[in-house]
Structure 1
Amino acid sequence: MDKLIERFIHYLAVERGLSQNTLESYQRDLIAYTEFLKHSGVADINQTRRANIIAYLAQLQKLGRATSTISRNLASTRAFYNFLLRDGLIDGDPTSNLESPKIEKRLPQVLSVKDVEALLDSPDLTTGTGIRDKAMLELLYASGIRVTELVSLNVEDINLNMGFLKCYGKGAKERIIPLGAIALKMLNEYLNRSRNKLVRDPSEVSLFVNHHGQRLTRQGFWKIIKKYAKAANIKKEITPHTLRHSFATHLLENGADLRSVQEMLGHADISTTQIYTHITKSRLKEVYAKTHPRA
């Protein structure tokens, strides 16, 4: 089974062009699933029955896994069996007609404009890392790109003269995103005053680097944003995607059209972007309830 998983992951990487994070997610799900099969006495993937998969999903539920996690595990397993069936490695697909559990859509956490400003003003601009951090935070809020896209940027992906950045999202799809004056100013500051002090190898192409002079990781950025959220006294739970969610919501609240926001976020389906309209509606109701004399 391990070799089949490796073959499947290779297929996803080479033929589907999925990101490293997505590949790792598939791999984790399938390793956990096949371990369950082995403990259940199923040694051959061809011996799997629908009942085995239902039992696995039930175990995940018993362990208290979120509905979204269970649904993702089923999606990973279904994709795996589809691949095996397509390549003639199994006789039938035991996941066929299995329904995914319904996921309750939770609205993403969004910061107020005041909280965003406090967060963006937290870095110490007298230090090289402070300038770097300010540039990263301003860039995230200005563009709405994912954290993975942020840390994957190279110097050549930023065009300061034309005022845009180029990034590669899910499925290696390229998109061009305009940047505001403040983000451009901080990027210029970082490139001219800070990055050359952090980089040790002149051939390093990464835009944002850590104190070792190497590409900053998602985990590294996660620690950075948590530090500044604490410094800004932000009480809401903050995640690496919080600025992305805030970017989209604030654009819509200020009159941006949904299609433009979809394009900037890199959503393949506009229904994904529409969740932000629910946030703005919720906020309108909140404002109405607080301010209308007969609310």
Structure 2
Amino acid sequence: MQYFNKEWLLFLDYLKIEKNAAAKTVETYQKDVEHFVKYLANEQISELNTVDYHIVRNYLTILYDNGLTKRSVGRHISTLRSFFKVLVRESVVTSNPFTQINLPKQNYPIPQFLYDEEMEKLLAVNQLDTPLGQRNRALLELLYATGIRVSECVQLKLEDIDLVLQTVLVLGKGSKERYVPFGQFAKDSLEYYIMNGRDQLIGKHSNPNNFLFLNAKGNPVTARGIRVILKKIVQDSGLTIDLHPHKLRHTFATHLLNNGADLRAVQELLGHSQLSSTQIYTHVTKDRLSHVYKNAHPRANK
């Protein structure tokens, strides 16, 4: 970034040192700032101090005209608000024009999840006579038991799993670590896979590794590989559903809340930094409560 390069480097230091932002987050922020800087160049604006409310509003209009969603526009606003906040702090500019801009109201999609009976059918798929079958069962049990992201799952090492305490150490977004518990079913499946199937898979590898989940060649399984595994489990179960790792994460959170779990506890288990990220699941529990009320209260229905 040649235009406003010094300003970007200040912001980059803030992201890496103070915020400990992940590489992908930094990359996204950089693209947002570069897009705004390109707009300023096209408008022949050479001083950041001259950027005001009207310039910002015009920029946001262009974003909407280019077909960006409210969510994407909101991300641009958040990025540039942080960018100018750092520049104000470093006395590069005197004011932050993005503080006058409200984030667009989001229409959050309803998270898709599996019902209890669907989950039971998936877990009933039993191919424990093969190493890959043992791995698939352990993988499904762990994803459902912990709600971890697929990006977190592929990073798991053997030493991250504590079968005695029944916890897994997860490296989440922004390199933040958290411990997530898992139940007896997941423990049994993991123990059986580690002691049997995994040893057979690693035996085919000339350069052994300590990753938890391996593919047929003994290499660490990838995010794409996990999606393929889940697709196969669905086919073997006889269900006609679309299953992806994040749907299991939604299922984990929904089932916990439906059975009385505290929202903040679920937030911590999911690794959400903001409670608002977890609140997308509350509509599901509200629907369930409404259904229970209508069926249980004597005067709910006329």
Q: Which residue of 2 aligns with 1:62?
A: 65
Of 261-270 and 232-241, more deviation after overlay is shown by 232-241
Q: Which residue of 1 aligns with 2:262?
A: 257
2:212 to 199, 207, 211: 207
Alpha-carbon distance, 1:75 to partner: 0.6
Q: Deviations over 1:185-243 (max 9, x none)?
A: 22122222233344436562322234554443434434443454465565555443211
Compute the TM-score of the two structures, normalised by the length of structure 1: 0.82
1:149 to 142, 147, 152: 152
Name the CA shift for 1:99/1:168 in 2 (closer, same or farther; >3 Å).
same
Q: Which residue of 1 aligns with 2:109?
A: 106
Name the CA shift for 1:213/1:36 in 2 (closer, same or farther; >3 Å).
farther
Q: Which residue of 1 aligns with 2:143?
A: 140
Q: Which residue of 2 aligns with 1:275?
A: 280
Given that 1:123 and 1:228 are in contact with CA atoms closer than 8 Å, whether structure 2 keeps it comes out as no
Compute the TM-score of the two structures, normalised by the length of structure 2: 0.80
> Structure 1 counterpart of 2:168, which letter?
L
Of 254-263 and 42-51, more deviation after overlay is shown by 42-51
Given that 1:123 and 1:133 are in contact with CA atoms closer than 8 Å, whether structure 2 keeps it comes out as no
Of 76-85 and 4-13, more deviation after overlay is shown by 4-13
Q: Which residue of 2 aligns with 1:17?
A: 20
Alpha-carbon distance, 1:117 to partner: 2.5
Q: Which residue of 2 aligns with 1:83?
A: 86
RMSD value over aligned CA atoms?
3.3
Q: Deviations over 1:28-48 (max 9, x none)?
A: 333333344444444665554
Alpha-carbon distance, 1:122 to partner: 4.8
| Ranges of 4+ aligned residues in structure 1 off by more than 6 Å | 287-293
Given that 2:143 and 2:245 are in contact with CA atoms closer than 8 Å, whether structure 1 keeps it comes out as no
Q: Name the CA distance, whole Å, in 2 between partners of 1:28 and 1:209.
A: 34
Does residue 192 of structure 1 match 2:195? yes
Report the identity percentage.
38
Q: Name the CA distance, whole Å, in 2 between partners of 1:23 and 1:186.
A: 37
Q: Name the CA distance, whole Å, in 1 between partners of 2:254 and 2:209.
A: 35
Of 190-199 and 95-104, more deviation after overlay is shown by 190-199
Q: Name the CA distance, whole Å, in 1 between partners of 2:129 and 2:34.
A: 47
Of 272-281 and 179-188, more deviation after overlay is shown by 272-281
Q: Name the CA distance, whole Å, in 1 between partners of 2:253 and 2:158.
A: 25
1:244 to 239, 242, 249: 249
> Structure 2 counterpart of 1:165, which letter?
V
SS at match of 1:207: coil
Name the CA shift for 1:89/1:122 in 2 (closer, same or farther; >3 Å).
farther
Alpha-carbon distance, 1:78 to partner: 1.3
SS at match of 2:178: strand
SS at match of 2:97: coil
Q: Which residue of 2 aligns with 1:180?
A: 183
Name the CA shift for 1:275/1:153 in 2 (closer, same or farther; >3 Å).
same
Given that 1:167 and 1:176 are in contact with CA atoms closer than 8 Å, whether structure 2 keeps it comes out as yes
Gap regions ≥5 residues in structure 2: none
Q: Name the CA distance, whole Å, in 2 between partners of 1:159 and 1:140.
A: 16
Of 285-294 and 170-179, more deviation after overlay is shown by 285-294
Gap regions ≥5 residues in structure 1: none
Q: Name the CA distance, whole Å, in 2 between partners of 1:266 and 1:89.
A: 35
SS at match of 2:245: coil
Of 82-91 and 245-254, more deviation after overlay is shown by 82-91
SS at match of 1:165: strand
